[in-house]
Amino acid sequence: MVDLKGQYNQIKDVVNSSIQEVIETTSFINGPKVHEFQKNLEQYLNVKHVIPCANGTDALQIAMMGLGLKPGDEVITADFTFAATVEVIALLNLTPVLVDVNPDDFNINIEAIKKAITPKTKAIVPVHLFGQCANMEAIMKLAKAHNLFVIEDNAQAIGATYTNKDGTKAKAGTIGHVSSTSFFPSKNLGCYGDGGAIFTNDDDLAHSIRGIVNHGMYERYHHDVVGVNSRLDSIQAAVLDAKLPYLDDYCDSRRNAANKYDAAFKNINNIETPFRSGSDDSHVFHQYTLKVKGIDRDALVKHLNAHDIPCGVYYPIPLHLQKAYVDSRYNEADFTVTNQLVKDVISLPMHTELDDEQIEYITSTLIKFING
């Protein structure tokens, strides 16, 4: 699905020397590279605070801890996302409230959020799924009206830009009260191990979170709150800092590949290519996800694999039907979109190194299957 080796080969010298610098200085934990990367990412995103941490799941959990959410508080999020989003809500003994998504852009549905809000609701977690920004303007409006926090799960959309109706723009992950991201190797900005970060423009929240990531310490060996140990190690920061200047080019490469896929599938009736709900820069194609109609999706997966084409089904089971998250309060009629999407979606290889020959092989193999 990704070609991390091909990408590494393009930037080998800069990555190697950045890693070497860490080894020479032996500042493996919280070294200068972590601080440099933090500052460079703050500048790139135009956000006041980036707090690096160990992975994207921790980032979400710590963001929620920083907001002071309490057991029993209800947190609304999408039924169609990776489990990490709901997992941390449950881990903190908050009450996850899963809601349906849009059939076109796969993002959290605004009417479903409205329906789910109760006096116990404290936060909404939109996920910018597959690299496309959720409807942040509507979400922020709802949050303001109901006095709710918004935590953007930006694990799949770093580099995406959201455009408001008045034309003003902001990077995904800088619009809500706080955001989380993942630097998992296959992410649009990926390191060579695990990594994550929290973003916020709120000075007090940033201060609180900086202590939480470090055992609740604001002064050495003074533990004021219950915290965690969640650090981005310096070698991972070195990789990320070397790759950050390429992020916009990486996003462009992914968009170009997506446009080529779209063109190849233009006249194929059984395929719905990914819908773009905003301006071109609002989608960074972490995944290129098709909806297939009237054909056997699982047979298509087998066919592609048999032709050495990797593909993925993200996600095959709605979260509300996962054993860990079933809840008698859920009503199947409220999840018609997700229940259908899990049957229809298929994600094709998507990365920065896809070339025309590979795209032609993938698309022609897929079209041949459809045409029988």
Stretch that binds ligand PLP, among 81-89, 256-264, 303-311, 364-372 (CB under 6 A): 81-89
- For the chain, the C-alpha Rg in angstroms (whole number) is 21
Surface-to-core class of residue 33, CB atoms within 10 Å of its CB (0-12 exposed, 13-18 middle, 19+ buried): buried
CA distances from 232 to 184, 247, 248, 272, 346 (A): 12, 19, 22, 39, 32
Beta-bridge partner residues of 99: 78
Q: β-strand 121-125 against 149-153: which pairing, if any?
A: parallel
Alpha helices in 99-245, H assignment, sequence order: 110-116, 136-146, 203-212, 234-243
* Cβ contact 66:51 at 8 Å: no
Stretch that binds ligand PLP, among 34-42, 55-63, 116-124, 363-371 (CB under 6 A): 55-63
**Residues 26-45: x/- map of binding to ligand PLP (CB under 6 A)?**
--------------------
Please identify, using beta-carbon distances, which residue of 157 and 346 lies nearer to ligand PLP: 157
Stretch that binds ligand PLP, among 135-143, 153-161, 316-324, 362-370 (CB under 6 A): 153-161
Please identify, using beta-carbon distances, which residue of 102 and 363 lies nearer to ligand PLP: 102
Please identify, using beta-carbon distances, which residue of 19 and 125 lies nearer to ligand PLP: 125
Among 7, 38, 61, 81, indicate the residue that binds ligand PLP (CB under 6 A). Answer: 81
- Cα–Cα distance measured from residue 68 to residue 342, given in angstroms and rounded to the nearest whole number: 34
- Determine, following the binding rule CB under 6 A, whether residue 125 of this chain makes contact with ligand PLP: no
Q: Centre a 10 Å sphere on the Cβ of residue 268 and count the other Cβ atoms it contains.
A: 16
Among 173, 196, 211, 227, indicate the residue that binds ligand PLP (CB under 6 A). Answer: 196
- Cα–Cα distance measured from residue 18 to residue 251, given in angstroms and rounded to the nearest whole number: 22
- Determine, following the binding rule CB under 6 A, whether residue 127 of this chain makes contact with ligand PLP: yes
Residue pointed to by tokens 């699905």: 1
**Residues 300-339: x/- map of binding to ligand PLP (CB under 6 A)?**
----------------------------------------
Q: What does DSSP assign to residue 322?
A: S
Shortest Cβ 112–ligand PLP spacing (Å): 18
Stretch that binds ligand PLP, among 77-85, 229-237, 316-324, 341-349 (CB under 6 A): 77-85
Residues that bind ligand PLP in the complex, under the rule CB under 6 A: 55-57, 81-82, 84-85, 127, 153, 155-156, 182, 184, 194, 196
